[in-house]
A and B are shown apart, each in its own frame.
Chain A
Amino acid sequence: MKKVRVLCLALFVLCSFGTARAAEPVKIGVIAPLTGSQANLGTGVVNGIKSAAKRINDEGGINGSPVELVIYDDRNSPDEGVSAAHRLIYEDKVKLILGSIGSSVTAAVQQLTMRERAFLVTPVSMAPKLTQVGDKYFFRVTATAAMRQKVFTGFVVHALKPKTIAYLAANDDLGRSEVESAEETYASIKGPKTVYKSFYDPAETSFTAYLTKIKSLNPDALFIVGDSVHAAVIMKQAKAMGIKSTILSSGEAGTAQFLKLAGNAAKGMYLSLDWSPVFTDPASKKFLDAYILDYGKAPDTKFAVQGWEAMWITAEAVRKAKGMSNPDKLREAFLATNWTGPRGKWTFRENGDPAGVTTFVVVVKDNKFVKVSG
């Protein structure tokens, strides 16, 4: 019996030496909706993250250590997100989480990461509050509604000069924050007057009631906020009704998916675009090549790009800080970010927001997005 015990101990010691030699992987947690109504967006983001991780590892990993992703589904539910975060932090022992999509899930997870001094990097969530609570370890790799609106509203007021505007937005974080930003900005630059404002349930499929009222008011401009699907359906129904207002949309509609779903109805719509698969700069090309290799075709939406960039920026920061053991050092590394991705150059402000994201104003012509001004 004693011999067996000694043998086991010896084996154990040998094994632990063995594992100590292999490079410790850099574990990064991912929380995103892979099922549920946002599965479309979540899957896109995760695909981007996975592609990025693969390329990072191909190029030697982070200071020689491979990136290991631990991915959990949050079903767009804050409760699930919190459970996933608990699991990531306490069981899987990750120190940095990429996620999530819906701002309510991200905010819920943030409560936990703030308490545990873990990093939370969101590739999509737009709610302004996330960077207003003083979380030192939170970074947002996407523009907020206010940032997007700055360029877009300027264009609308100077080039299109509408006197009246109607808002039709989804009743979620995105819709509410876009409309709020737009109204505030227009008010400050003497833009169009609001004649109608309404928020529809994200599960809504028939917009005739809203569009009928809007048609009767005949505003110069109609600002739609919703994801590609909503935007496409609203456009189709609006055009079928004969609405003559100039249609403006939030950036979510700037995807191939929207063009495919909306078809001819999308003609003449203006929107702000931060990225599209037709960009040909080297960073975009690297992303597209990798994505097409991994998944067989170019992405339909821009969520994959957001995941891709979030992963790369995180990897760069961890590389600079030489690991994730010192949160403050990692924070410094994030703040020192100076990386160029498909959406342009990335730098961060003290509160975790990006310092400036390049946005273009485009119009839909011949079933394509055509730049009108930068």
Chain B
Amino acid sequence: MGQRKRVDIAILCCLTLITFAIPWAVKSSFYIHILIMSAINAVLAIGLNLCMGFIGEKSLGHAAFYGIGAYTTAVLSVHFGLSGPLNLLAALFVTLVCALIIGIPSLRLRGPYFAIVTLGFVLILQLLVLNGGAFTGGPMGLPGIKRLTLPNILTGRPFTLSTDIQYYYAAVVCFWLAMIVSIVSINSRVGRAWLAIRENLDLAESVGISAFRYKLAAFLMGAGLAGLAGALYTHYTAFVSPRIVDTWINVLLAAMVIVGGEGTLLGPVVGAVVLTALPEALRFAEGYRMLLFGVILLIVIMFAPQGIVGLAADFAKRRRRG
């Protein structure tokens, strides 16, 4: 096993330890809340990274799947009283179906065209949700979503997730699911096909790789993860509103992937944590918060576009050589 692989595995092991052990060190519910949101954002960013980083297509519509997952769960909970695993599965299913509907026609496009079509879909989704009347709650959204109830495999009786720490672990499970999907697919034949497509699509096609099918796979995987994250989010906050399909979230997600380091495994995770925690950390400068955020983003893009993980990798490479 190469040294590089050993370092990667070591990092992953450390990360596993940290994510599961944090609640022992962090007691404040506020920080747990930030961690939960970071984990959810990380799932979204990992999903987007599959699309952006690995096949090179910038999707500006990722938040749509987040929103679809969230609203599916919300509607099922508020209008039909469901709040168990069925809810999560339904969210996943609906999201995948929508991803197929959106992906099949759009993935034939490239570059800015693909990006803008996905943006268009998000905007139309937002319009539909805003005008959905009592079904989607309209501009006010749907409050009062039930907490998640999962079957207890040991005792057979269902238990309801009610404390922040319980949701934290649920988010961590979701996060590791995303990581596993990411790791497995990248190291498989699918992943190699993605790399080929990203480097040179025409060449890849000429050796028989059906770019479209592999792109669709990445797109669907990312969408499914986003839908799941949306469902979890809804059960956690007990609320959903049209703001969840706002264009701003898409921008934020793209920024997470790029600032963290696109095309890398840990990049989106780092990006998600940093960009979720940063606005909160900047609260001391309330009036200037967004300005600082924009400036930091610009500086990173201009001077460190390979992202934080990319920078770390470059640094490590230089050290190994010298």
Indicate yes or no for A touching B, C-beta below 8 A.
Answer: yes
Residues of chain A having any CB pair with chain B under 8 Å = 34-35, 71-73, 75, 77-80, 82-83, 86-87, 89-91, 103-104, 107-108, 110-112, 127, 129, 133, 171-173, 175-176, 199
Residues from chain B with a CB closer than 8 A to the CB of A91 are: 28, 30
Cβ-defined contact, A108 with B286, below 8 A: no
B16 within 8 A of A: no
Q: Which of A73, A79, A107 contacts B289 (CB 8 A)?
A: A73
Q: Besides A34-B287, A79-B37, A176-B140, 6 other CB < 8 A contacts?
A: A77-B243, A78-B237, A78-B241, A86-B34, A108-B241, A171-B139
A79 to B283, CA, bound (A): 15
The CB with the most chain A CB atoms within 10 A, among B237, B242, B289, B290, is that of B237
Residues from chain B with a CB closer than 8 A to the CB of A107 are: 140-141, 143, 239, 241
Tell me, rounded to whole Å, the shortest Cβ–Cβ distance linking B136 to chain A.
12
Given A34-B287, A83-B37, A104-B241: A90 touches B30 (CB 8 Å cut-off):
yes
Report the nearest B residue to A87, measured CB to CB: B30
Tell me, rounded to whole Å, the shortest Cβ–Cβ distance linking B187 to chain A.
34
Report the nearest B residue to A84, measured CB to CB: B283
Residues from chain A with a CB closer than 8 A to the CB of B30 are: 86-87, 89-91
Cβ-defined contact, A78 with B141, below 8 A: yes
Cβ-defined contact, A103 with B238, below 8 A: no
The 6 A-B pairs with the shortest beta carbon distances in the complex, nearest first, are: A90-B30, A111-B238, A90-B29, A107-B143, A86-B33, A108-B239
Tell me, rounded to whole Å, the shortest Cβ–Cβ distance linking A90 to chain B.
4
Residues from chain B with a CB closer than 8 A to the CB of A75 are: 290
Cβ-defined contact, A133 with B138, below 8 A: no
B199 within 8 A of A: no
Given A83-B33, A108-B237: A172 touches B139 (CB 8 Å cut-off):
yes
* Contact residues of B between 284 and 305, Cβ < 8 Å to A: 286-287, 289-290
Cβ-defined contact, A133 with B143, below 8 A: yes
A264 to B246, CA, bound (A): 37
Report the nearest A residue to B239, measured CB to CB: A108
Q: Which secondary structure characterizes the binding site on chain A?
A: helix
Given A111-B143, A173-B140: A78 touches B239 (CB 8 Å cut-off):
yes
Residues from chain B with a CB closer than 8 A to the CB of A129 are: 140, 143
Tell me, rounded to whole Å, the shortest Cβ–Cβ distance linking A1 to chain B.
28
A133 to B34, CA, bound (A): 27
The proximity string for B residues 235-254 relative to A, scoring 1 for CB distances below 8 Å and 0 otherwise, is 00111011110100000000
The proximity string for B residues 21-36 relative to A, scoring 1 for CB distances below 8 Å and 0 otherwise, is 0000000111001100
Cβ-defined contact, A133 with B144, below 8 A: yes
A199 to B242, CA, bound (A): 16
Cβ-defined contact, B239 with A111, below 8 A: yes
A-B contact pairs, 26 of them (CB 8 A): A34-B287, A72-B283, A72-B286, A79-B237, A80-B279, A83-B37, A86-B29, A86-B30, A87-B280, A90-B30, A103-B140, A104-B139, A104-B243, A107-B140, A107-B143, A107-B241, A108-B239, A108-B241, A111-B238, A111-B239, A112-B237, A129-B140, A129-B143, A172-B139, A173-B139, A176-B140
B204 within 8 A of A: no
Residues from chain B with a CB closer than 8 A to the CB of A111 are: 143-144, 237-239
Cβ-defined contact, B139 with A176, below 8 A: yes
B131 within 8 A of A: yes
Q: Which of A71, A90, A108 contacts B143 (CB 8 A)?
A: A108
Cβ-defined contact, A110 with B143, below 8 A: yes
Tell me, rounded to whole Å, the shortest Cβ–Cβ distance linking A33 to chain B.
12
Report the nearest B residue to A77, measured CB to CB: B243
Residues from chain B with a CB closer than 8 A to the CB of A103 are: 140
Report the nearest A residue to B33, measured CB to CB: A86
A78 to B239, CA, bound (A): 9
B130 within 8 A of A: yes
Residues from chain B with a CB closer than 8 A to the CB of A172 are: 139
* Contact residues of B between 95 and 144, Cβ < 8 Å to A: 130-131, 138-141, 143-144
Q: Which of A34, A112, A127, A173 contacts B286 (CB 8 A)?
A: A34
A71 to B283, CA, bound (A): 10
Residues from chain A with a CB closer than 8 A to the CB of B237 are: 78-79, 82, 108, 111-112
Residues from chain A with a CB closer than 8 A to the CB of B28 are: 90-91
Cβ-defined contact, A171 with B239, below 8 A: no
Report the nearest A residue to B243, measured CB to CB: A77
A277 to B238, CA, bound (A): 40
A219 to B31, CA, bound (A): 56
Tell me, rounded to whole Å, the shortest Cβ–Cβ distance linking A111 to chain B.
4
A176 to B37, CA, bound (A): 31
A298 to B165, CA, bound (A): 48
A91 to B244, CA, bound (A): 26
Tell me, rounded to whole Å, the shortest Cβ–Cβ distance linking A167 to chain B.
15
Cβ-defined contact, B280 with A83, below 8 A: yes
Report the nearest A residue to B28, measured CB to CB: A90
Cβ-defined contact, B283 with A87, below 8 A: yes
Residues from chain A with a CB closer than 8 A to the CB of B143 are: 107-108, 110-111, 129, 133
A86 to B236, CA, bound (A): 13
A36 to B141, CA, bound (A): 19
A71 to B141, CA, bound (A): 25
A107 to B74, CA, bound (A): 14
Report the nearest B residue to A82, measured CB to CB: B237
Tell me, rounded to whole Å, the shortest Cβ–Cβ distance linking A243 to chain B.
25
Residues from chain A with a CB closer than 8 A to the CB of B29 are: 86, 89-90
A78 to B237, CA, bound (A): 10
Residues from chain A with a CB closer than 8 A to the CB of B239 are: 78, 82, 107-108, 111
A72 to B144, CA, bound (A): 24
The CB with the most chain A CB atoms within 10 A, among B28, B34, B140, B237, is that of B140
A86 to B238, CA, bound (A): 14
Residues from chain A with a CB closer than 8 A to the CB of B130 are: 171
Residues from chain A with a CB closer than 8 A to the CB of B242 are: 104
Residues from chain B with a CB closer than 8 A to the CB of A34 are: 286-287
